[in-house]
Chains A and B, each alone.
Chain A
């Protein structure tokens, strides 16, 4: 049976809100990056590295990474609980959905740690 224990906040209202707010964060970040690249079409490694060594950019990027993961988790959780059910894929649905959710979680954690390493690594 599909249950909600693995949903992001276990509450439809907050899941819904989180998904909207994180979407806005990701959208603003994308606009900022695209605008930057438009104004600096021939960006050098030095400029790029300087941009990402500023604290505001690091915080903004980390926020966006976290927002992306939360947003994607809610989205993938919804996709999983819509399509991976006994009805559609048979008796193994619960196990399949669990593996699917585990896979998503793994990808998000990797992205997050990798992102943090890039941001605060030594270039």
Chain B
């Protein structure tokens, strides 16, 4: 199988390039793209990428496979390979550190901006802050995000304004804290999102939904935030 990999070593290369490998894929089972990367590393130990859990939990191996973002460790070849060819590139839109490793700083900066922690100004109870099962259910489809950045780096609005548009991952988490019954900073959170960029740069393209390896729906969460902002304004 022809594997084409994005290569860039800032110490040596002036520009990035695609390197082709001809790889013998062992039969018998459907390999994951991460397995292919491991096989490549045996051929050429300088091929760089991140990975840790190899089971879709840690979110470190987000890459672009034949044009679509996803986690290499849980993406089977049968799903992405077209006419016996696989191109692997780093997540688009972020600066490349080396090969498939990107600098996630801008992504985390946006995450920080939405204050991803519970804020509660009421005196803490002796044990813990309780939540009804119904209120807890509201967090389903939000808390599962593993911050892999597949969605945000597939979003054109984030490519154009990565310093101002929070992006789908950050906004999904913003909503997660906005609707948490234990959080009392709703007003403060909404005030921080009402400018023309943070939320309103979302154009509803839904690239984020189509790539999320966890099957989450940032576009829907963004719609909820927009409604909260509108309600607050009128």
Instruction: List residues of chain A with CB under 8 Å of any chain B CB.
Output: 1-2, 4, 7, 10-17, 81-83, 85, 87-88
Contacts and interface: CB of A to CB of B under 8 A. Distances in A.
A13 B194 contact: yes
B194 A83 contact: no
Query: Interface on chain A toward B: helix, strand, loop, or mixed SS?
Result: helix
Contact of B161 (A2, A7, A10): A2
Contact of A4 (B160, B163, B196, B199): B196
A85 B201 CA distance: 15
Interface string B150-191: 000000010011011000000000000000000000000000
Contacts, number: 45
B197 A4 contact: yes
Contacts of A83: 160
B32 to A, nearest CB: 34
A12 B229 contact: yes
21 contacts: A1-B163, A2-B164, A7-B196, A10-B196, A11-B196, A12-B194, A12-B195, A12-B196, A12-B197, A12-B198, A12-B200, A13-B200, A13-B229, A13-B230, A13-B232, A15-B196, A81-B160, A82-B160, A82-B161, A85-B161, A88-B160
B161 A16 contact: no
Nearest to B156: A82
Contact of A81 (B161, B194, B229, B232): B161
Classify chain B: how many residues form its interface, as a range: 10 to 19
A60 B121 CA distance: 51
A49 to B, nearest CB: 40
Interface centre among B160, B164, B196, B197 (most CB of A within 10 A): B196
A15 B164 contact: no
B232 to A, nearest CB: 8
A76 B102 CA distance: 32
B55 to A, nearest CB: 36
Interface in B8-64: none
B233 interface: yes
A81 B196 CA distance: 11
Contacts of B198: 12
Nearest to A81: B161
Ordered nearest first, which 3 A-B pairs have the shortest CB separation? A12-B200, A12-B196, A82-B160
Contacts of B224: none
B226 interface: yes
B161 A13 contact: no
Interface centre among A12, A16, A82, A87 (most CB of B within 10 A): A12
Given A2-B161, A81-B160, A81-B161, 19 more contacts: A1-B163, A2-B164, A4-B195, A7-B196, A10-B196, A11-B195, A11-B196, A12-B196, A12-B197, A12-B199, A12-B200, A13-B229, A13-B232, A16-B200, A17-B233, A82-B157, A82-B160, A85-B160, A88-B160
A92 B160 CA distance: 16
Nearest to B233: A13
A85 B193 CA distance: 22
Contacts of A12: 193-200, 229
A14 B226 CA distance: 11
Contacts of B197: 4, 12
Interface centre among A7, A13, A87 (most CB of B within 10 A): A13
